[in-house]
Structure 1
């Protein structure tokens, strides 16, 4: 190399190094550090420790805005290294801290809360912790800038979480997933707080929110006692309880008292052993209703009219049915005049209806016919005889999951039922979409 080329390379290298060490966003993982996953675990761990040490030491005193440790695959890293790295990088001015420590084998990483007590906590806006222990105390300090808090499989009690939240006056959203030590979740009166997302916190018995502006509540798991403080601001409510039955029944009885002004409601239930009751209460602001059911062999789908009748401004209705055992009362074989009729209703706002997993169940056909006969505003009706992901959207290029032969035979029966009982009731201005099993991934002889 000539002296001139060497001088240019040195200048470029110096400029690049200066630019790099001033970079405010750091993500540490085997991928970002260029480590080969095919090498032994000990080699990966040794190289990862060496590289992170070098990087952080060279940046000592340089401000970090975003710090992300993604180390779950490196289970042989001693936690003392992680403590040291956090104390170097978490300084006043940091805005985002994302931590996924090595997955616990014998012990679990104990997050050093002292990091947030020396002024560093004042600037953090997003805190994302995974697979660790968090034991905040009253002397934690103020997290006055924290707007988003996410915890995945974090060991923290309800009282400790209350202590933490009480220091987060700017908090906007809280996500809790698999936090199994929380028995009672209580949200303080945080003025800016509007999103609460709770997923499979198995020990949870109480959810109580005193936040006056809560607008979105997502809950997944075993149903517990829920109080949203009678908030009039809750517009989006999602309850997925796929380990528990009769959630649709619960929703019809209780959602109005939880969120009287809900606009988007999503309900998922393991099964329904009782029919949805007709009640006087109205969902005066509900526009989008989505219901997912799994095993509903004895359920009367026509009873879902209770929701339609109670929602005068409903615009979109989606029903998803996932039956693994075809035990419903099929409409095929019975005369068409056996279809039940309900006192005439009028749905003047309903525009879009989609039913996935549509089957030949007599009560489901009756529900569909009722909607067609009583909806003056309907634009589109979609009847999908499957409930799987189609090959056009999966990475494998195959439908998932594949339907067994009983399901394929049922799909053919369903198509016959649609032609016999539904098609003739569809007004000319309504677009009818009938989705059959994918011919590329499934084949079945048509019924004669």
Structure 2
């Protein structure tokens, strides 16, 4: 048995050695020029005499995780630097597990790495259980974080799995001397309970929380202690009922809120917010922006009344909600004169199966005229789920007549993103009979009212082609 173990160890060393030599060749080291003496030196686990040790440590820190680990099997110098490797990116790929690996094997390998790491000099720590079957690392996590979360760490990513007992992230770690270094914090599937005792995170620029148990007032406590925050992304955090972004976040430019089912109030006072994305918050009743610098706004699956504040700087607008067509037809011409990109989805309003608005072919007067407003900025228009609804045809005609800057027009007669031909999804949405029955009317509406007024300078796609 000892002989077999030695043979396996020797094979691993040879494999690691060959990987390191190949890596050196890619990077243009002496190996690339056939320097056999350098290779022999490497095999004797002695650094090249012409380079100081700190240079080798730096070279080692630039290697991908797997290459760095293999190099540590060959060289005492690399082994020493491995124990203080600055970038610990731990997932099933870097650990070397196959797709069906279980959580137990993953956790044991990670634990072995963490036990052999000094915890000194860690800049990036990413622990990702994505694609690993079964999660059993709860008993390890506290000790692992104690090793790496120290002054100097810049990025902390903890992507866990759904379990009956959620991991309680120790907020005390955020107060133990890392306030001036942590820049990026990403947490999935855990409990986060920040309190008023939390110190200011002076360098935190990006915060991403997904499926994290955190209440609205706790999140606001965390935000009030993050004055340098630039990006905030909140996904599926179902305990948040009210979220008010404070005006103290002077640098916040990007806000994304997705799938927070309990959220009822969302208010922004961050003065320099430029991009605002809200989707899937079905119970949201108040959505308010109180700052003047918003240039990109998208909302989908949100029934809340919109209050976007001053919109003169708005350049990109996407709406997937009831009454989006009415809003675009009645409100946008006067309040967003600098709009460049408009994407509208309004399934309930113009649904092919049971339209709320009358068809353009109904027995009534002709198209209504919208007060004309010249638009010099709108360049791109896409309407998903286009049909023969009268209001939709009127909106399209209005844009074609008044938007002199228009470059691209897409009338997509199918609602939804799952399209085999676009390769955005492995499957396609089922197209119901009512939608197929509406298709001839859609085409007739386009040919009768729209096709003849499309400028030659506009690139058309979708049903117009």
Q: Tell me, yes or no, whether TM beats 0.5.
A: yes
Aligned to 2:286: 225
For the residues of structure 2 that align with 1:293 and 1:114, how far apart are their CA atoms? 46
1:227–1:258 CA contact under 8 A, matched in 2? no
1:362-415: per-residue Cα shift (whole Å, max 9, x none)?
Answer: 4433433344444444444333333454433216677x2242344234223322
1:131-189: per-residue Cα shift (whole Å, max 9, x none)?
Answer: 11111122222311111111111112222222222222211122111222222223331
Aligned to 2:222: 164
Q: Report SS of the residue matched to 2:150.
A: coil
Q: Is residue 31 from structure 1 mapped to residue 31 from structure 2 by the alignment?
A: no
1:74–1:102 CA contact under 8 A, matched in 2? no
Q: Report SS of the residue matched to 1:191.
A: coil
Aligned to 2:295: 235
Q: Is residue 418 from structure 1 mapped to residue 452 from structure 2 by the alignment?
A: no
For the residues of structure 1 that align with 2:325 and 2:310, how far apart are their CA atoms? 23
Q: Report SS of the residue matched to 2:321.
A: strand
Aligned to 1:117: 175
Aligned to 1:184: 242
Q: Report SS of the residue matched to 1:122.
A: coil
> Using a 3 Å threshold, how does the CA distance of structure 1 residues 53 and 6 change in structure 2: closer, same or farther?
farther
For the residues of structure 1 that align with 2:362 and 2:229, how far apart are their CA atoms? 59
1:329-359: per-residue Cα shift (whole Å, max 9, x none)?
Answer: 4445869xx4224166253424443333322
For the residues of structure 2 that align with 1:428 and 1:157, how far apart are their CA atoms? 54
The two structures have a TM-score, normalised by structure 2, of: 0.73
Structure 1 unpaired stretches of 5+: 298-321, 438-448
1:99–1:129 CA contact under 8 A, matched in 2? yes
Number of paired residues?
394
Post-superposition offset of 1:193: 2.2
Post-superposition offset of 1:36: 3.3
Aligned to 2:147: 88
Q: Is residue 207 from structure 1 mapped to residue 261 from structure 2 by the alignment?
A: no
For the residues of structure 1 that align with 2:292 and 2:356, how far apart are their CA atoms? 42
Aligned to 1:292: 345
Q: Is residue 174 from structure 1 mapped to residue 232 from structure 2 by the alignment?
A: yes
1:326–1:407 CA contact under 8 A, matched in 2? no
2:347–2:415 CA contact under 8 A, matched in 1? no
Q: Is residue 108 from structure 1 mapped to residue 166 from structure 2 by the alignment?
A: yes
The root-mean-square deviation of aligned C-alpha atoms, in Å, is 3.5
For the residues of structure 2 that align with 1:215 and 1:355, how far apart are their CA atoms? 23
Aligned to 1:264: 316
Structure 2 unpaired stretches of 5+: 1-9, 11-36, 46-70
2:345–2:384 CA contact under 8 A, matched in 1? no
> Using a 3 Å threshold, how does the CA distance of structure 1 residues 418 and 224 change in structure 2: closer, same or farther?
closer
1:148–1:172 CA contact under 8 A, matched in 2? yes
For the residues of structure 2 that align with 1:71 and 1:413, how far apart are their CA atoms? 50
> Using a 3 Å threshold, how does the CA distance of structure 1 residues 143 and 431 change in structure 2: closer, same or farther?
closer
Matches within 5 A, 1:295-444: 295-297=348-350, 323=352, 325=354, 329-332=358-361, 338-342=365-369, 345-349=372-376, 350-388=378-416, 389-394=418-423, 400-435=428-463
1:250-307: per-residue Cα shift (whole Å, max 9, x none)?
Answer: 44xx33x36564333222214679877846963344333332211224xxxxxxxxxx
For the residues of structure 1 that align with 2:163 and 2:154, how far apart are their CA atoms? 27
1:296–1:323 CA contact under 8 A, matched in 2? no
1:66–1:96 CA contact under 8 A, matched in 2? yes
> Using a 3 Å threshold, how does the CA distance of structure 1 residues 66 and 141 change in structure 2: closer, same or farther?
same
For the residues of structure 2 that align with 1:150 and 1:67, how far apart are their CA atoms? 15
Matches within 5 A, 1:56-95: 56-71=114-129, 73=132, 75-95=134-154
Q: Counting helix residues as a fraction of each chain, which structure ranks higher?
A: 2
For the residues of structure 2 that align with 1:372 and 1:235, how far apart are their CA atoms? 23
For the residues of structure 1 that align with 2:259 and 2:353, how far apart are their CA atoms? 24
For the residues of structure 2 that align with 1:76 and 1:142, how far apart are their CA atoms? 32
Aligned to 2:113: 55
Post-superposition offset of 1:326: 6.3
For the residues of structure 2 that align with 1:380 and 1:287, how far apart are their CA atoms? 11
